[in-house]
Structure 1
Amino acid sequence: MTRRHLLPLLGLVALVLTAGCAGLFGSQPISDEQLNEEPPSPYVWDSEVDAHITITENARFQAVYRMNDTRMELFRRDGFGGRNAIPVSAVRYRYPNGTVVTGTELVARGGSINRSRSRVAVSLPDDSPDGGGGQLAFTSSSTPKRFSLPTFVDGSYAVVLPPDRRVEVFPFGKVSPRGYEVVTDGDSRVVRWDDVTADAVSVQFYLQRDLLIFGGAAAGLAVVGAVGVLYYKRRIEELREQREELGLDVDTDDEFRDDPPPGMG
């Protein structure tokens, strides 16, 4: 291949590598539509905890964090120790005086919200308190019947489960870290920690009907197993009767006893 033919190929390779590096290491702003869309339900600003997370029916969650810094990085850890950015929408910032601004207003006031492959970096507005302050809220996606996220702030946490979900029965329900309590709020359960110092909070939950389904399946398997045992015993009886009718001097019980083979006793 001549040098003239190599030039277009080299140009294409350079373009691909450049695009890949930009996607891997660069960052880009999130659209105004995502930042300003309305949350599924009003954010819970006036809670007593440092992190208040409400899990909704459609495998999404709404989070409100009390800021102790002027910057926060939002991500999930993968199974290889790396980080992946989480999708965020309906971003709001609440000043300590109670004023709430949208995501685009936060940016217009000197803050920033940028997404890269590994994280969503949020910086508070220039007029926010020094050293952090106020509350940051956003909406994101979760996993059906399981919520897990790093602890972006230290302190007290509350995770509100969707209605009729429970965590009490292991292994269907699992909560980490320990030191939590479960309280009832209407038809919802709230998992609370007074002080979280672990790297992540994880809550696996279930519907009440899941236990009924599992119990029914277990009962069905038990019935099938009992029928199998009865069938096996019936076949043994039939074999014994057939041998007796043929006059065979063979004790079928010997075939099924647990004594070791001859010479092995």
Structure 2
Amino acid sequence: MTVSRRLLLAVVVVALLALSAGCLAYVTGGGEVDDETLDREPAEPYEFDVDRDGYLVVTTEANYRAVYNVTNREEVRLHRETGYGTEEPIDMRAFRVQYADGEIVNGSTFRAHGGEVEQTTDEIWVRFPDDREADSLAFTASSTPKRFVAKVPVEGAVEVVLPPDRRMDFFLFGNVAPRGYETEIRGDRQHVVWDDFTGETVIVQFYLQRDLWIFAGGLAIAAVIAVVGLYHYRRRIEELTRRRKEMGLDVEEEIDEYEDDDDPPPGLR
């Protein structure tokens, strides 16, 4: 079997595995979010009292805690994009709902009140009870190191809090979308705020502050190496020029001689 046929066979096998995995996920409905997962305790208490429609705190462990204003909402769709251009449910855990009267309940209690947390192959649907007015929805989900991407199911004032000692201002390492945001430093954390968020996806690429110093140090070292290399190169050229002069091989004089002579160079006369 030739190399090209082996490569083609490997591609076909991978495609079949991916297709079978997708079909299995479709048949099983993508899996259920069990009460144990929903009832987990968050790493830190949720900020239910913030005056934001969306408040997302990114952690150093590549997770984030989200609190959304769901007043007058019947349901909320939670999902994320895959690297293949498709959608999938977020890996939600530590689920909490705050009702309008201030009561905060976990996932199993929410379901006991008539609420629904339904997971499909593409998303998670959170549907609120008819007889209880929900005020806020909170949960924890996974992110990625140094790049936070989230589908935000609300509009209005949205705030993203970066992990401690992270920044996004330097254009080579940081990036934020959509535009129209403002930033503020509070303590050791940078906050990115949209006063009128109307999009769907928030992207914040950030870096450790020490990464910037490492980058600057690398540039400084590269500059020193370049200067030292140039210095040694010039010294080498000067040394070679001196030796040629000592040997009577003055290149500049030979060139001047040819320039002053109207006759063709030797060999062409």
**Fold shared, TM-score > 0.5 on shorter chain:** yes
Matched letter for residue 110 of structure 2: L
Matched letter for residue 89 of structure 1: R
Matched letter for residue 194 of structure 1: D
CA contact (8 A) 2:25 2:31 kept: no
TM-aligned CA deviation for residue 144 of structure 1: 1.3
Equivalence for 1:195 = 196
Structure 1 segments of 4 or more deviating over 6 A?
none
Separation (CA, whole Å) in 2 of partners of 1:189 and 1:253: 67
Matched letter for residue 55 of structure 2: H
Equivalence for 1:34 = 37
CA contact (8 A) 1:240 1:252 kept: no
Could you report, residue by residue, the CA deviation over 1:211-231 in whole angstroms, capped at 9, with x for unpaired residues? 211111110111111112112
TM-aligned CA deviation for residue 232 of structure 1: 1.8
Equivalence for 1:178 = 179
Separation (CA, whole Å) in 1 of partners of 2:247 and 2:205: 63
Would you say 1:134 and 2:154 are equivalent positions?
A: no
Q: CA RMSD in A?
A: 2.4
List alignment gaps of at least 5 residues for structure 2. Answer: 1-18, 256-269
- Sort the Cα spacing of 1:232 and 1:253 in 2 relative to 1 into closer, same or farther, 3 A: farther
Separation (CA, whole Å) in 1 of partners of 2:34 and 2:209: 39
- Sort the Cα spacing of 1:183 and 1:19 in 2 relative to 1 into closer, same or farther, 3 A: closer
TM-aligned CA deviation for residue 181 of structure 1: 1.5
Percent identity of equivalent pairs: 45
List alignment gaps of at least 5 residues for structure 1. Answer: 1-16, 255-265
TM-aligned CA deviation for residue 137 of structure 1: 0.5
TM-aligned CA deviation for residue 42 of structure 1: 0.4
TM norm structure 2: 0.79
Could you report, residue by residue, the CA deviation over 1:119-152 in whole angstroms, capped at 9, with x for unpaired residues? 22222234334xxx42111001111122111221
Separation (CA, whole Å) in 1 of partners of 2:169 and 2:209: 11
Which stretch of the first structure deviates more once superposed, 234-243 or 31-40? 234-243
Equivalence for 2:26 = 24
SS of equivalent residue, structure 2 residue 79: strand
SS of equivalent residue, structure 1 residue 251: helix
TM-aligned CA deviation for residue 24 of structure 1: 2.9
Could you report, residue by residue, the CA deviation over 1:237-262 in whole angstroms, capped at 9, with x for unpaired residues? 122122222222423997xxxxxxxx
CA contact (8 A) 1:50 1:153 kept: yes
- Alignment counterpart, residue 43 of structure 1, candidates 26, 33, 46: 46
Equivalence for 1:87 = 91
Separation (CA, whole Å) in 2 of partners of 1:226 and 1:232: 10
Report 1:96-135 matches (<5 A): 96-129=100-133, 133-135=134-136
- Sort the Cα spacing of 1:168 and 1:18 in 2 relative to 1 into closer, same or farther, 3 A: closer
- Sort the Cα spacing of 1:39 and 1:23 in 2 relative to 1 into closer, same or farther, 3 A: same
Could you report, residue by residue, the CA deviation over 1:83-124 in whole angstroms, capped at 9, with x for unpaired residues? 122211000111111111111112222222233332222222
- Sort the Cα spacing of 1:200 and 1:107 in 2 relative to 1 into closer, same or farther, 3 A: same
